[in-house]
Amino acid sequence: MGDAASGRGRVVSPPRTVEEIYKDYRARRSAILRAVTHDVEDFYAQCDPEKENLCLYGYANEAWEVALPAEEVPTELPEPALGINFARDGMNRRDWLALVAVHSDSWLLAVAFYYAARLNRNDRKRLFGMINDLQTVFEVVSGVRQSKERSSMDNGGRAKPSVKVENNGKSADEAYGEDDSDHGETLCGTCGGIYSADEFWIGCDICERWYHGKCVKITPAKAESIKHYKCPSCCSKRARQ
């Protein structure tokens, strides 16, 4: 990949405004999320402990890559954690992915605030607020729920129905007196997209993560006949056991 496309090396037109930096952050974050969730089998295979020090890169075009670190010193951008492949076989797989996620979150913030160094104090604060409204990669990978998502549980301690449907202008959530703002931190477990009431979503009854119907190939009609939905990730885990 070329420098401008990949984000490695010299960037031709780096983001400068709060909105541009936030867009860059979200794109890189989406790439990382895809690597450790939807493409996890491919990512796991590429992190061969027999290879040299490897890093996980997320690029501004939402592509990810497992590669050797940049050779130039100092580097144009902050570098991600080095040698993530060495710990792969010495840890429980879920714990290893969580470790990669934590280091990736640190790297994403480092890149964002490298670009934000020339912003004024108020703009940096606004940028961090926008970033902080998103779940971290670690929270998505580990299944940690943010406070607003926990509030979606009813008084009996049981989760509300797992399907979020927008139908003729009225969503299933509206029946519970909720609006879009109640789900602003809900992210798709596959693509990392933020919840929107005008899209069909379905929640896994095993890991409790939410997914765009289109990302897991479930239509509203098909969802009506599903009593307990199990996402592809949970299905693959059960198959390996």
pLDDT tens profile 80-122: 999 999 999 999 999 999 999 999 999 999 999 999 999 999 9
Same domain for 195 and 120?
Answer: no
* CA proximity to 162, closest of 144, 138, 186: 186
Q: Which tokens in the block code for residue 130?
A: 């926008």
Indicate if 24 and 111 belong to the same structural domain: yes
Say if 173 falls within a structural domain: no
Q: Does residue 180 surpass a pLDDT of 50?
A: no
Whether 210 contacts 187, CB under 8 Å: yes
Give a yes or no: residue 149 inside a domain: no
Q: Is beta strand 163-164 parallel, antiparallel or unpaired with respect to 210-212?
A: unpaired
Task: Look at residue 238 in the predicted model and tell me its pLDDT.
Answer: 59
128 located within any domain: yes
The pLDDT of residue 151: 41
Under 8 Å between Cβ of 224 and 197: no
Question: 38 and 136 in one domain?
Answer: yes
Matching residue, tokens 């492949």: 85
- Does one domain contain both 76 and 22? yes
User: Of 80, 115, 142, which residue is a domain's last?
Assistant: 142
Tell me whether residue 235 is in a domain.
Answer: yes
Instruction: Please indicate, yes or no, whether residues 106 and 40 belong to a single structural domain of this protein.
Output: yes
Whether residue 138 sits in one domain with residue 41: yes
pLDDT score, position 206: 85
CATH number of the domain encompassing residue 235:
3.30.40.10
In a domain, 177, yes or no: no
Report percent pLDDT > 90 for the chain. Answer: 50
Q: What pLDDT, on the 0 to 100 scale, is given for residue 156?
A: 38
What domain range includes position 37?
18-142
Q: Last residue of a domain, which of 90, 125, 142? A: 142
pLDDT digits (tens, 9 = 90+) for 132-166: 999 999 999 988 755 444 444 333 333 333 444 43
What's the pLDDT score for residue 125?
Answer: 94
> How far is Cα 124 from Cα 196, in angstroms, rounded to an integer?
27
Contacts of 30 (CB under 8 A, 6+ apart): 58, 62, 191, 192, 193
Q: Decide if 163 is inside a domain.
A: no
pLDDT at 12: 62
- Is 217 inside a domain boundary? yes
Between 208 and 45, whose confidence is greater? 45
pLDDT of residue 209: 86
Per the model's pLDDT, the better-predicted residue between 21 and 71 turns out to be 21
Q: Do residue 136 and residue 22 come from a single domain?
A: yes
* Tokens encoding 204: 């896994």
38-57 pLDDT, tens digit each: 999 999 999 999 999 999 99
| Within-domain flag for 106 | yes
Asked whether residue 227 falls in the same domain as residue 132, the answer is no
**Count of structural domains within the chain:** 2
37 lies in the same domain as 100: yes
**C-alpha 9, offset from chain centre:** 24
Q: Of 142, 173, 204, which residue sits at a domain end?
A: 142
Residues 137 and 191 grouped into a single domain:
no
